[in-house]
Amino acid sequence: MERQVIHLNIAHFMAAVEELLDPSLRGRPFVVAPEGAERAVAVEVSRTAFREGLRRGMPLGYIRRASPGVRVLPVREAVYRRAGAQLYEIAAGFSPLPESPGGGHLFVDITGTRLLFGHPVDCAARLREEAVRRSGLRPVAGLAVNRLVSKIGTRVVKPDGFVVIAPGDERGFLHHQEVSLIPGVGAKLLERLGLLGIREIGELAGLSDADAAAFLGRHGALLRDRARGIDTAAPSAHPPGGRSIRTSRLFDTDTNDTAEIEAALRGIVEDAGVLLRSDGLAARRVEVALSYSDRLRAQGASSLPAPSWRDAELFEAARAALHRGMTRRVRVRRVSVVLSQLRPEARQAELFSPPGTLKGEALQGAIDSIRRRFGREAVRAASAMRART
Amino acid sequence: MFTHLQTHSCYSLLYGVRPVDEMVDAAAARGYGALALTDINNLYGMHDFTEACSRRGVRPVIGVEFRTDDARALVLARDRRGFSRLTRLTSARMREAGFGLSAALAECSDGLVVISDTPALLAGLNGRVEALYAMVTPHSRRAEREARRLGIPLAACGDVSFLSEDDHHVHRVLRAIAARGPLSSMRDEDCAPPGSSLFGPEDADRIFGGIPDAIASTEKIAGMCSFDGSFEGFVFPPAPAGGLVPGEALRCAALRGAERRYGELSESVMERLEYELSIIEGKGFSSYFLSVAGIVARSSLTCGRGSAAASIVAYSLGITNVDPLRHHLYFERFLNPERRDPPDIDVDFAWDERDALIESVFREYGSGHAARVSTMVHFQARSALRETARAYGIPAEEIGAVGRRLTAPRVSGAAPCDGRTWDEIMRVARRITGLPRHLSVHVGGIVLTPGPVDELAPVETANDGSTLLAWDKDGTEKAGLVKIDLLGNRSLAVVRDALLNLRENGVDIDPFTWEPLTDAQTQRLLARGDSIGVFYVESPAMRQLQKKTGRGDFEHLVIHSSIIRPAANRFIAEYVRRLKGKEYAPLHPRLDRILAETYGIMCYQEDVSKVAVALAGFSDADADGLRKILTKKNREERLAAYRERFYEGALQGGVEAAVIDEIWSMIRSFGGYSFCKAHSASYAMVSFQSAYLKAHHPAEFMAAVISNGGGYYSSGAYISEARRMGLSVLAPDVNESSLRYRGRGREIRVGLMAVAGLSSPTLCAVLETRERTGPFGSPEDFVARVAPGEGDIVALAGAGAFDGLFCGERRGIQLRTLLRLLAERGDARSPGDTPALFAPEAPRRTLCRRAALSMEDLHVEFRRLGFLCGHHPLELWRDALTGLSRAMGRDLPGLVGKRVRLAGWPVTRKEILTARGDAMEFVSFEDETAIYETVLFPDEYRAYSRVLDELRPYVIEGTVEEDQGATSLTVKSIRPLPGVKVPAPARREPGPWDTARYRSPFGGG
């Protein structure tokens, strides 16, 4: 059976959502950034702002100097989350396996749905129409035999349009496109390809195994295969057994104050803990990822001796992971925590728990019930409060 | 009365926050009659301290606060012997990994006072150190109990680091910088306590209430310490081995040398020799001259600099190369019976020979008797901002952006607003600016001592393992140590390499009999200002001056290289007018003779002294003092005193006030830097040598200039100059190129050193393989014999180094072929790789046409080399230039008064401040035909200077102006030439030939 994957992409996702909510913003340059923070950076820029040279991650101070008239909108994460969820829901009506890598991208595998939804091209068109009709957002859409080709397709027609690459047409479609459109081709690779006189995807696709390896190194053959439209990766929305829980905190003003970062970490560990316990799970592994102000990333990981669902234990592991990962003195913009190696929680197994543990367990239960009734912010560890002030 | 015995200045590096003189001022203001400076583990601030104390009438106590992992003690010098012990201890602390404070003090503490708050140290030293005290401070009395038990007297110490409340925050930032950690994570124990300020004597009673004996001890200790940091006499290098006493040995050597220089010795030569020798011997300088002569003899080509070039003894010994009799150079500027400070001899060596030379001197004298002079690196505005911002966690990119904006000359009154954090960073950075940062090695200063050097001065170990004096050149001088400056000079290497290149091409020039001064072609080249690449006269300002004067003879070149000073613009213009025949009257009849050869304008450093003597009745020593102070950084206060005396003396001598004003303003124009005639003459000799080579052997000369890293301009600018001179620049080639650029006839072959991304091992392999087994016959042959890395292949192919081997193939195809060969070779290489059965195929050497280069090829070539071999870089903007109506640079002299548009690639820029303090800029641009000079006056500077920051060509519009025969463009507007942005040239991996430690393959030295 021929696989068929639709790629939907909403360029400048957050800005697109804002424009949807306030149509007067359309066609105007604006950026989305934390309000009132001293050292905020743009987390999104509108299409018009992008054309004027503004980019994500630029400090707000710089943006204001460079484009004095630009409007700054506050970050409304909940709103973007809702918009993303709505798109996902629409896609879920067409496929059991929509995959959402975030940032306004959505892959929908409609393989084998012909009987249900008709010809794949009609199906894709309908999905796009439905997305436009129900969400108001206007995604660019690509339909092809796999994620790779559909993604290259949307890159070609961006920022607006619908492209169909029929099975068997992949090589013809890709042949005269620029090599820079292939996912994974960065500045360095592009320079090498330029030296070799390779500018179009077709020239890359024509390399033999030996030439691909000789010209481009170890991953040359893989890159050549991509140029041929070959994508072996399966959509991986829910890899079995690999589920994880992720929470993060974006600092309005970046910081390198360890105490402040730890306080924020405690907050997001508690948030993750709530999700963990609400699913009746315990985690064995805690990863902490840092995003520095200069956009470099770092991470540290820590394993617990046994799966745990208690905030205190999770936080201690997270703190150890943080200190493993935080080796620079540059300010941190975002801190995230990922709980993984999840197992069903096994509270009953601990028959001979020391009295302290039971007390802690009772406390954790009480806190969770308060949060269930009054919301996450209703009760916090005192040490997590610092970051909020 | 209480006396502060524990004070840290900013010389407690990245700890103290206040300059020494502020600490002394504060102590004097609070009524203290004595003060100890005890910086942590060093004596860096000692000379500043004694000087500040003598100005403020405070008695200095010299000491060090030793800190080790487990102990701390203040060690104060009681007398000269104690000071020697202190320098040895300080040296050991800085140099020995396992330094033990207790053992070192127990071994010998003669002439020292020791005050410690480490109980174990006190217990260990009790009874072994004569003057031992237990330290109590406002923050700690931890030693009190142990001291009472052992019967050791207490001494009250202030533990002073600050003068105001704000100092503590600055201190914490410095500690964060030292720890390379974030400011927010600095722990209290890593910092001085917040209240470590200098308190007055009245506060001492309150602070040390209950222990009056501890306060009384301070006065007693201060009284014991009589050493005030002054030194007597000079310390000269040891006399060279041999039977003769230094004076006799010098006389013999000088006479022998003079005969070599002059042949038969005339009466005037003998008279001058005898006169100089008598003064040298009288002042004890004989062994010093002999040492320098011994060092100079090790090198092929040298150039004496400074006032020593006026000495016939130095000339005879080969230390200098200009005949002082022929060029009227006065010995007294160098050495005279009255001069109190030690004059030093400075010699230039080829830059790439200098380090090896210094090493050989150290080997001969032994590292215990030789040391390099240090220089203290201070925080500059930019580094202070960068380091402070890092401590605050600001990423590098943001620091760079804000830093560039802030440190650009003031263009408007508005302060840039970057938020509270940056406000605070800037406030702290301003405080940190000017504080000492770390000790570094002075470029060429060394001292040679008869006794162990660490008994005379504190020493450390430099990164390269050599012994380093912990004082800078001023401190070294104050301690009476006579230094020798061995400095690196690229132009000496240029001359050396050009001569060797010529010898390979069959032209032999003997440097010792060479007479470039009288060569007409050389003089004409200099008179035209065609001197790009020529030592010392290649800057735009100097070339403009040459053009304006139209003089290329030696005597005028000596004047020009002296008169070009930042503060002398007004006098330069007047000089040119007088040179061209303007009538003038001497400033004063008494100056007529002194300034006759420089058209009545003060030009040389010694003119300042001569004028002060002739006009204001200064003694020689005072006049010399005035000359010296003009070159110092913090001169204003002392200069004001000289000014008063100058006016007073001149008025008494009947000079009119207006004339004195004019003369004083001329004297002021010597501020910053200026030269004596001997120095200028010595340098002008090298200028003439290089100008001669440029005039007669342009390819060899320009090849040597570029190989040695050029001077004022980038390689690209020299390549353009070479092309304008009608030379062909040939791309690097694996079969034809040497390491360096080589010239022959009308061609320059680019050296492999120019190829960015080519690794040193492969570069060496290419040269050695070719040398051993002949040229490469094919790409296969190259890959098999050199075994290059992939990056090397990419670099060489991009630079065009395989064009010859591939006979006209496109570079993309060349690269594909080579990478395939490389991959096959990698596959074929297996254990037991057997040697080839057949000899490599015979070299295929055919003359082939170079393939036409695509625009992409040109971009890659530019990235690899930093220039294009066959084209001006403007070629990269071919499309944008098509259809642009513009004038060409070479035509400007014919367009005077017209408004024109030009395309130009920026070559050099120089910002200056106008008399009113507004920034303006001189920018040199080049197009395909010429380099041309432009001026951005303050309005245009404000509007366009920042536009020029990118590496790309620009369209410049303005009016052509002419001044005394030199043309320039007064800019009205500048805009970038539209088109692709060219990637910055790739960074070339530094090879061994980039360091001064490298011995040139051409030999020499």
In SS3 terms, B215-228 reads as HHHHHHHHHHCCCC
Both A21 and A154 in a single domain? yes
Residues of chain A neighbouring B809 (CB-CB closer than 8 A): none
Q: How many domains does chain A have?
A: 3
Both B803 and B861 in a single domain? yes
pLDDT of amino acid B992: 55
pLDDT of amino acid B883: 85
pLDDT of amino acid B179: 93
pLDDT of amino acid B755: 94
Both B485 and B507 in a single domain? no
Identify whether B307 is part of a domain. Answer: yes
CATH number at residue A276: 3.30.1490.100
At B425, list the tokens. 């960073």
Both A19 and A135 in a single domain? yes
Both A60 and A152 in a single domain? yes
Identify whether B294 is part of a domain. Answer: yes
Both B451 and B583 in a single domain? no
Both B808 and B792 in a single domain? yes
Both B506 and B532 in a single domain? yes
Contact: B394, A61; criterion CB under 8 Å: no
pLDDT of amino acid B661: 92
Residues of chain A neighbouring B397 (CB-CB closer than 8 A): 294
List all residues 6 or more positions away from A322 whose beta carbon is below 8 Å from its beta carbon. Answer: A261, A262, A265, A288, A290, A300, A335
Q: Residue B804 pLDDT > 50, yes or no?
A: yes
List all residues 6 or more positions away from A255 whose beta carbon is below 8 Å from its beta carbon. Answer: A261, A331, A332, B184, B393
Both A276 and A216 in a single domain? no
What is the enclosing helix (H) or strand (E) of B961?
strand B954-963
pLDDT of amino acid B850: 64
* Closest residue in B to A260 (Cα–Cα): B184
Both B627 and B646 in a single domain? yes
The pTM of this model reads 0.80
Both A137 and A175 in a single domain? no
Contact: B790, A217; criterion CB under 8 Å: yes
Picking from A209, A237, A265, the residue at the C-terminal end of a domain is A237
Contact: B180, A292; criterion CB under 8 Å: no
pLDDT of amino acid B837: 39
Identify whether B719 is part of a domain. Answer: no
Both A30 and A130 in a single domain? yes
Both A63 and A127 in a single domain? yes
pLDDT tens string B686-708: 999 999 999 999 999 999 999 99
Both A215 and A307 in a single domain? no
Q: Which of B420, B812, B820 sits opposite A38 (nearest CB)?
A: B420
Q: Residue B328 pLDDT > 80, yes or no?
A: yes
CATH number at residue B891: 2.40.50.140
Q: Residue B1004 pLDDT > 60, yes or no?
A: no
Residues of chain B neighbouring A214 (CB-CB closer than 8 A): 819-820, 822-824
pLDDT of amino acid B692: 97
Domain that holds residue B62: 20-163+198-224
* Closest residue in A to B863 (Cα–Cα): A191
Both B670 and B553 in a single domain? yes
At B682, list the tokens. 């010595």
* Closest residue in B to A58 (Cα–Cα): B398
Both A132 and A186 in a single domain? no
Both B461 and B549 in a single domain? no
Q: Give, for all 389 residues of chain A, the pLDDT tens digit.
A: 678 889 988 889 999 999 999 999 998 999 999 877 778 888 899 999 988 888 888 888 888 877 888 899 998 888 888 888 888 888 888 887 777 777 788 888 888 887 888 888 888 888 889 888 988 888 899 999 888 899 999 988 887 888 898 888 888 899 999 998 888 888 788 888 888 889 899 999 999 998 998 998 888 888 898 898 888 665 544 443 457 788 888 888 889 898 899 999 999 999 899 888 888 889 999 999 999 988 788 999 999 999 998 899 999 999 999 999 998 999 998 999 999 888 887 654 444 555 556 677 777 778 777 877 776 667 777 766 654 43
Q: Which one, of B448, B11, B62, B49, lies nearest residue B222 by Cα?
A: B62
More confident residue, A63 or B255: B255
CATH number at residue A229: 1.10.150.20
Both B400 and B524 in a single domain? no
Picking from B490, B505, B530, the residue at the C-terminal end of a domain is B490
* Closest residue in B to A40 (Cα–Cα): B419
Q: Which of A41-45, B34-38, B401-405 has the lowest mean pLDDT?
A: B401-405
Q: Is A3 on the interface with B (CB under 8 A)?
A: no
Identify whether B179 is part of a domain. Answer: no
CATH number at residue A7: 3.30.70.270
* CB within 8 Å of chain B, chain A residues 325-344: 329-331
CATH number at residue B72: 3.20.20.140
Average pLDDT of chain B to the nearest whole number: 89
Beta strand extents in B834-950 (DSSP E only): 899-913, 919-926, 931-936
Both B309 and B347 in a single domain? yes
Identify whether B544 is part of a domain. Answer: yes
What distance in Å separates the CA atoms of residue B661 and residue B456, rounded to the nearest whole number?
A: 45
ipTM over cut 0.85: no
Both B612 and B679 in a single domain? yes
Q: Span B289-305, mean pLDDT? A: 88
Q: For residues B606, B612, B614 and B619, what is the CA-based torsion angle, rounded to 10 degrees?
A: -100
Contact B948, B959 (CB under 8 A): no
For residue B67, give the amino acid letter: R
Q: Is the four-CA dihedral A68, A74, A79, A81 of positive or negative sign?
A: positive
Domain that holds residue A221: 168-237
pLDDT of amino acid B998: 43
pLDDT of amino acid B265: 92
pLDDT of amino acid B839: 40
Contact: B419, A39; criterion CB under 8 Å: yes
What is the enclosing helix (H) or strand (E) of A364?
helix A355-374
Q: For residues B193, B198, B203 and B204, what is the CA-based torsion angle, rounded to 10 degrees?
A: 80
For residue A100, give the amino acid letter: S
* Closest residue in A to B823 (Cα–Cα): A214
Both A202 and A296 in a single domain? no
Cα B335 to chain center, whole Å? 26
Q: Residue B5: pLDDT band by 50, 70, 90 thresholds?
A: very high
Q: Residue B412 pLDDT > 70, yes or no?
A: no
pLDDT tens string B170-195: 999 999 999 999 998 888 888 999 98
Identify whether B81 is part of a domain. Answer: yes
Q: Span B420-444, mean pLDDT? A: 93
Q: Residue B40 pLDDT > 70, yes or no?
A: yes
Q: How many domains does chain B have?
A: 6
pLDDT of amino acid A238: 43
Both A355 and A223 in a single domain? no
Both A305 and A260 in a single domain? yes
Count CB pairs under 8 A between chains A and B.
Answer: 83
Identify whether B737 is part of a domain. Answer: no
Identify whether B122 is part of a domain. Answer: yes
* CB within 8 Å of chain B, chain A residues 208-237: 210-211, 213-215, 217
What distance in Å separates the CA atoms of residue B112 and residue B78, rounded to the nearest whole number?
A: 5
pLDDT of amino acid B751: 95
Q: Residue B1003: pLDDT band by 50, 70, 90 thresholds?
A: very low
Both B555 and B678 in a single domain? yes
pLDDT tens string B197-210: 999 999 999 999 88
pLDDT tens string B105-116: 999 899 999 999
